[in-house]
């Protein structure tokens, strides 16, 4: 079976690796163009491109996948199956209809919940106790295709985006191989999605990173872990951005207004929220590395009474 793999983010890497361990032929890899990254805005390859280069796989990086030129290019690879994992563009009908076995997508949620670009972060932000991975036949909608296989995953109370991301990617890799095997033997059962139960996981934007200290402690706690290790939840401290990567909920918040530091401890500092407080345990100042809050405090004049979130 000749497979064209379409993917971009790090989530797709373990899935491509799993395919490479099989006897299937990877005819080519389609990924997004190199993008500016980091403080120097230097062009950087996607995680999937880096993997494909290291494996000597043919690579195609169209700016827009819907152009006739892009469609023709992929057609020359003569795929029997196209696998799409966290690619980043809507696939046109001409490509969906190209392979004899169709196009299969691996999506990091238990569909129809959390369709869209950021299913892992959004489910953590919402305090979900369960997530999962779905394989589906693709159609022209946004994660609306028929469900093939699913596997549910429990979410721990302190699970971060990074941890759940890696867990779901590993599950997705195994689930895809099972899906392809069943596809070959004709034993896959397609199931329509329940539109009434669908939810949408919008892309993470800058405003999603900013902590509103008026929110409840649990909501902020979930926001912090949902954005760890990237891009990080943020607040303002003395006019500068401070990113927060780890916290814990405090039962006895003490007096103060939301955003106010009510106590400074050896391990971190306590911040009042809308209904309680959080102890901040890991932070990062702009241009600096991530460090434990205790280490941050040893080089800081932070004290009780300072209010976070102010612009100046």
Q: What is the pLDDT of residues 161-175, one digit of tens each?
A: 999 999 999 999 999
Beta strands 269-272; 277-285: pairing state? antiparallel
**Residue 132, CA distances (Å) to 153, 161, 164, 185 in order:** 5, 13, 10, 25
Q: Provide the pLDDT confidence category of residue 43 given band limits of 50, 70 and 90.
A: very high
% of the chain with per-residue pLDDT over 90: 93
For residues 239 and 311, the answer to whether their CB atoms sit within 8 Å is: yes
Q: Provide the pLDDT confidence category of residue 312 given band limits of 50, 70 and 90.
A: very low
Q: What is the pLDDT of residues 129-139, one digit of tens each?
A: 999 999 999 99
Residue 143 has pLDDT above 90, yes or no: yes
Residue 156 has pLDDT above 50, yes or no: yes
Q: What is the pLDDT of residues 110-122, one digit of tens each?
A: 999 999 999 999 9
Task: Report pLDDT for 253.
Answer: 66
What's the average model confidence in pLDDT over 224-229?
98
What is the C-alpha to C-alpha distance for residues 257 and 262, in angstroms, rounded to an integer?
9
What is the C-alpha to C-alpha distance for residues 93 and 110, in angstroms, rounded to an integer?
24
Backbone angles phi and psi of 113, in degrees to 5: -75, 145
What is the C-alpha to C-alpha distance for residues 195 and 146, in angstroms, rounded to an integer?
11
Domain boundaries, the chain: 2-197, 208-298
Q: What is the pLDDT of residues 55-101, one digit of tens each?
A: 999 999 999 999 999 999 999 999 999 999 999 999 999 999 999 99
Fold topology of 2-197: Rossmann fold (3.40.50)
Task: Report pLDDT for 299.
Answer: 86
What's the average model confidence in pLDDT over 210-215?
97
Closest CA relative to residue 208, chosen from 124, 90, 89, 87: 124
Closest CA relative to residue 141, chosen from 208, 91, 199: 91
What is the C-alpha to C-alpha distance for residues 129 and 229, in angstroms, rounded to an integer?
20
Q: What is the pLDDT of residues 235-286, one digit of tens each?
A: 999 999 999 999 999 987 678 999 999 999 999 999 999 999 999 999 999 9
Task: Report pLDDT for 311.
Answer: 60
Torsional class of 10: left (φ above 0), alpha (ψ -120 to 50), beta (otherwise)? alpha
- Does domain 208-298 fall into CATH 3.40.190.10? no
34: its two tokens? 């190199």
**Residue 98, CA distances (Å) to 62, 66, 72, 102 in order:** 17, 13, 10, 7
Residue 3 CA to its chain's centroid (Å): 24
For the entire predicted model, the pTM comes to 0.96
DSSP E strand stretches across the chain: 2-7, 25-30, 35-37, 42-44, 59-60, 81-85, 103-107, 130-137, 147-154, 233-237, 240-250, 261-264, 269-272, 277-285, 291-292
């Amino acid at each position: 079976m000749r497979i064209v793999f379409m993917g971009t983010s790090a989530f797709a890497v373990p899935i491509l690796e799993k395919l490479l361990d099989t006897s299937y032929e990877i005819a080519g890899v389609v990924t997004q163009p190199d993008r500016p990254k980091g403080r120097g805005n230097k062009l950087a390859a996607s995680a999937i491109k880096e993997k494909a280069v290291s494996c000597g796989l043919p690579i195609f990086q169209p700016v827009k996948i819907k152009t006739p030129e892009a469609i023709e290019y992929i057609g020359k690879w003569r795929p029997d199956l196209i696998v799409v994992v966290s690619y980043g563009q809507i696939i046109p009908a001409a490509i969906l209809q190209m392979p004899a076995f169709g196009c299969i997508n691996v999506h990091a949620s238990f569909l129809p919940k959390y369709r869209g670009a950021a299913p892992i972060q959004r489910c953590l932000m919402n305090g979900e106790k369960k997530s999962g991975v779905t394989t589906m036949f693709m159609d022209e909608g946004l994660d609306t295709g028929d469900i093939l296989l699913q596997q549910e995953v429990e979410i721990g109370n302190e699970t971060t985006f990074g941890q759940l991301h890696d867990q779901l990617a590993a599950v997705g890799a195994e689930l895809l191989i099972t899906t392809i095997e069943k596809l070959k033997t004709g034993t896959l059962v397609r199931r329509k999605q329940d539109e009434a139960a669908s939810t949408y996981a919008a892309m993470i934007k800058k405003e999603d990173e900013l902590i509103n200290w008026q929110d409840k402690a649990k909501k902020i706690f979930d926001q912090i872990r949902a954005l760890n290790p990237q891009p990080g939840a943020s607040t303002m401290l003395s006019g500068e951005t401070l990113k927060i990567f780890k916290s814990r909920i405090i039962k006895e918040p003490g007096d103060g207004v939301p955003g106010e530091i009510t106590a400074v401890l050896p391990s971190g500092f306590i911040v009042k929220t809308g209904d309680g407080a959080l102890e901040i345990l890991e932070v990062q100042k702009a241009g600096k590395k991530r460090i434990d809050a205790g280490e941050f405090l040893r080089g800081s004049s932070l004290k009780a009474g300072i209010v976070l979130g102010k612009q100046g």
